Structure 1
């Protein structure tokens, strides 16, 4: 009887090994799938948080602009209100810079993406610079065939800087609404951030936006 039991045990060993391997493989695959799903879910949550932060920053920009444009006239140079609004605009700009660092490190961006995000950054800076100079919101731009910079106001919904800024905001929101890719390499992220934050777009961001986003305006370019 002992020999028969041993024989049956030996026969059962391959089946047991197969069963254990199957269970182990199933556990491994299941864990990998769960880990990937959890990672994707977490990344999506972070993407939505970044998009929400962008909306808040965009809203903050307009709140400060309307506050400034409604109360600017008649304010003295050292007025406390102007300093407060200037601080708020600098804070909003800092939040945007922080978001751009995140975008550069978490997304694979094309040269076009970098240029358009850089254009949005330059347009955003116009508010702080205008408050600093105690003037209505305007951007100092290089016009067609002219190397000199001219101040172009954002007055009216069809003003070229305002048109470009709104289109750039829509582009950025659409970009952030999409799933991000795995984190890029550090050197790549650094290169991307350098492109986005380059001051080369300071006087040409409206031109770049009109060209890359195929915008049309009878008021632009200024001859």
Structure 2
């Protein structure tokens, strides 16, 4: 006959086995919940970034039109009196918009493995905001109007950048070194080179 201690050990073993599926289910359930919570938070962040991008795109259009109106020296049907602080106000807004775009680009470079064409798109789009800020700073008109290569290119870049942000299918960045390298490649892009290649493309219909 088995001893009392052996019987107790056997019962404890049986009890442990009965609790094992429950424990495994609890651990697995927590992992699944944590996974979906993380995915939900990432989706919310991506949605917030997309909304911020759309706002900054509209800000670029508004600033460029206001700046062209401010710099216009031709005849007007009706005189316009601009506030004394308008130049500085536009410069501050342009700098803020540029910083907002750069923050979005840093996040994309840090989190995603970007293709060569994506790096070019983000780099050129970033520089468009830089050129706007520098034009306002230097008091130079920015004639990116309908029919110009710059106008066509900027709209193309905006659409491609929006697609990059909205895409849910991407590889995660492997390490900080590769993220830094990607960001460096983005900031090295120069819009003048792209304009030179695309200057013969026809313009597209749209507001200046």
TM-score (norm 1): 0.75
Judging changes above 3 Å, is the alpha-carbon distance between structure 1 residues 106 and 48 closer, same or farther for their aligned structure 2 residues? Answer: same
* Contiguous gaps of at least 5 residues in structure 1: 138-152
| Equivalent in the alignment of 2:129 | 124
| Equivalent in the alignment of 1:144 | none
Pairs aligned (count): 192
Structure 1 residue 62, shift from structure 2 partner: 1.0
| Equivalent in the alignment of 1:24 | 23
Q: 1:153-199 CA distances to partner (integer Å, 9 max, x unpaired)?
A: 4222x32111111011001101101236545411111111101111x
| Equivalent in the alignment of 2:92 | 87
TM-score (norm 2): 0.79
Matches within 5 A, 1:101-140: 101-137=106-142
Indicate yes or no: 2:138 matched with 1:154: no
Q: 1:94-122 CA distances to partner (integer Å, 9 max, x unpaired)?
A: 11111111111122212221111101112
Question: Which of residues 177, 181, 187 in structure 2 aligns to 1:197?
Answer: 187
Indicate yes or no: 2:201 matched with 1:217: yes
| Equivalent in the alignment of 1:163 | 152
Give RMSD over aligned pairs: 2.7
* Contiguous gaps of at least 5 residues in structure 2: 74-79, 204-208
Distance in 2 between residues matched to 1:53 and 1:189, nearest whole Å: 22
Distance in 1 between residues matched to 2:118 and 2:48, nearest whole Å: 20
Structure 1 residue 88, shift from structure 2 partner: 1.3
Equivalent pair of 2:113/2:171 in contact (CA under 8 Å): yes
Distance in 2 between residues matched to 1:20 and 1:35, nearest whole Å: 23
Distance in 2 between residues matched to 1:131 and 1:108, nearest whole Å: 34
Q: Secondary structure at the match of 1:203?
A: helix
| Equivalent in the alignment of 1:187 | 177
Identify the structure with the greater strand proportion: 1
